[in-house]
Amino acid sequence: MDYNFHWRPVFKTLPDLLESAILTVEVAVLSMVLGILFGLALSLIRIHMTGPLKWFAVSWIELARNTPALLQLFFFGFGLGAFGIHFSPFLIVLMGLTFNNSGYLAENFRGGFNAIPDTQIRASLSLGMNSFQTYTRIIIPQVLRIVYHPMTNQMVWAVLMSSLGMLVGFRELSGETQFFASKTYRIFEYFAATAVIYYVLVKIILGAAKLMALRLFKY
Amino acid sequence: MIKISNLYKSYDDLEVLKGINLNVSKGEVLSVIGSSGSGKSTLLYCINGLEPIQQGQIIVDDIDVHASDTNLNSVRQNMGMVFQQWNSFPHLTVLENVALAPRIVSKLPKAQALEIAEKQLRHVGLGDKLSKYPSALSGGQQQRLAIARALAMEPKCMLFDEATSALDPELVGEVLDTIRLLAEEGMTMICVTHEMGFAREVSDRVAFFHEGVIEEINQPEELFGAPKSVYLQKFLSKVKK
């Protein structure tokens, strides 16, 4: 093997890589926040409603979970582009990831809702709380605890999946890496460095999630 | 206080309540006994509007509970309900469990809600558990928490649905003592119970439910001492064994 490692270009462009890593985290976090909101709505619709709304929610969940994430991203990028609807690469990735996260999280939430006994709802109503108060104060806080760990998995998944963004022209961590790698031909070095950055990012997120769990769930 | 007339309730084809007529006056303690499936708990759910009814009328404090223009949430504020499964809210501390409804339903300022909650918790003997989570409490303590939580809304009457039947035997006493205390304070109460001794001692009247009707209703001495209904005689002889 006569390959000579050249790490210098990597170190020189490390600030650029880290900056793009921030973009990665940004799109992942946003897609999770939106995914949690949509996921909650989808699971509640799926549990409580009938008719077109339910049909819509079930279709969303089924498509998000049973088609490749890359295709979902391409749909928001090139698919809608065919109809003259164009979004920035950031928005394409955000919409793709949000669509995917919402579908997976909705099913997690559904499991969470089913795990809360009906009697909690009755007890809450019997105190004079309305349905909205019952859900926001009593049911959803308990559901969030039940689905917290699956939710952190999804968060990690979102960070890693955002790398698909480079295929729709989004210069997040992988896109940026690809750009420099082809510019300098130090392909191995760049992707090795990026792998380390992803690894550290995920570890930081998991650590933060653990700390947050300690603060949130004292019971 | 509570006027029930000609009440019919069924779940699909299953008729559970078949024409109940019952008046409970202010300050009265009524115990409801009977075997499982006789409709006792269902009666409480109907009074609290947790279950729809098919026919009849339930008037609580001059408000028709099941009328279409009745705001159930405000009706329920006047009725405290305690369930067989105590249903404490596991994600809130003992104090928060009790203060929540006064704060968000009665819209009291936080300090005042906490004050009421603390007062009610002391009332039921949980003054030293305020910052604990329900998981750290015994079943009996959780049931007393549920009572305090209902009392914090300052209800005009209380409904107890087999409040002691999910408890270990040694914990039943503390909950019954708490209910007894409320009775002495003049709270209007309907207690569905399997504790015959308690029903006999605390109640002003006892109603015996059999297959969805009130088979016999009387003062406890007569009802337990000289039961007229054959079904009641059978029920009591089984219970005594």
Q: What share of chain B has pLDDT > 70, as a percent?
A: 100
Query: Is A2 contained in some domain?
Result: no
Quick one: which of A110, A98, A119 has its CA closest to A140?
A: A110
Which CATH number characterizes residue A49's domain?
1.10.3720.10
Assess contact for A133 and B104: CB atoms under 8 A. Answer: yes
Residues of A in contact with B135 (CB under 8 A): 219
Distance from CA of A145 to the nearest CA of B (A): 9
Contact B73 A129 (CB under 8 A): yes
DSSP states of B29-67: EEEEE--TTSSHHHHHHHHTTSS--SEEEEEETTEETTS
How many residue pairs from chains A and B have C-beta atoms closer than 8 A?
66
Any domain includes A98: yes
For the stretch B227-239, pLDDT in tens is 999 999 999 998 8
Q: How far is B153 from chain A (nearest CA, A)?
A: 7
Taking only the tens place, the pLDDT of each residue in A108-135 is 999 999 999 999 999 999 999 999 999 9
Residue A41 lies in a domain: yes
3-class state of residue B162 by DSSP: coil
- pLDDT at res. A218: 82
> In this structure, is residue A136 part of a structural domain?
yes
Supply the mean pLDDT for chain A.
Answer: 94
Total domains present in chain A: 1
Pairwise pLDDT comparison (B37 vs A57), residue with the higher score = A57
What residues of chain A lie within 8 A of the CB of B106, using their CB? 128
Q: Any chain B CB within 8 A of the CB of A132?
A: no
How many Å apart are CA B95 and CA B22, to the nearest integer?
36
- Both tokens of A173, joined, read 């961590």
Contact A219 B135 (CB under 8 A): yes
DSSP A93-157: HHHHHHHHHHHHHHHHHHHHHHHS-HHHHHHHHHTT--HHHIIIIIIHHHHHHHTHHHHHHHHHH
Please report the ipTM that was assigned to this predicted complex.
Answer: 0.89
pLDDT tens digit string along B142-192?
999 999 999 999 999 999 999 888 888 888 888 999 999 999 999 999 999
Residue A99, pLDDT > 90, answer yes
CA distance B89 to chain A (A): 7
Angle between helix axes B110-123 and B139-151 (nearest 10 degrees) is: 130
| Residue A74 domain-assigned (yes or no) | yes
Q: Would the CB atoms of A126 and B146 count as touching at under 8 Å?
A: no
Which letter, b or e, does each residue of B153-185 get, where b requires 16 or more Cβ atoms within 10 Å of its Cβ? bebbbbbbbbbbeebeeebbebbbebbeebbee
From the list A127, A217, A219, the residue facing B101 with the nearest CB is A127
Q: Extract the tokens encoding B106.
A: 């009665």
Domain annotation covers residue A38: yes
Cβ-defined contact of B89 to A138 (cutoff 8 Å): yes
Residue A3 lies in a domain: no
Residues of chain B whose C-beta is under 8 A from some C-beta in A? 48, 50, 72-74, 76-77, 79-81, 83, 85, 87, 89-91, 100-101, 104-106, 133-135, 146, 149-150, 153
Domain range for A27 is 8-216
Amino acid letter, A10: V
Q: Which residues of A touch B150 (CB under 8 A)?
A: 126-127
Confidence (pTM): 0.85
| 3-state SS assignment for residue B12 | coil
Angular region, A210: left φ>0, alpha ψ -120 to 50, beta rest:
alpha
Question: What is the C-alpha to C-alpha distance for residues B166 and A10, in angstroms, rounded to an integer?
Answer: 66
Q: What's the CA gap between B223 and A38, in Å, rounded?
A: 58
In a domain? residue A70: yes
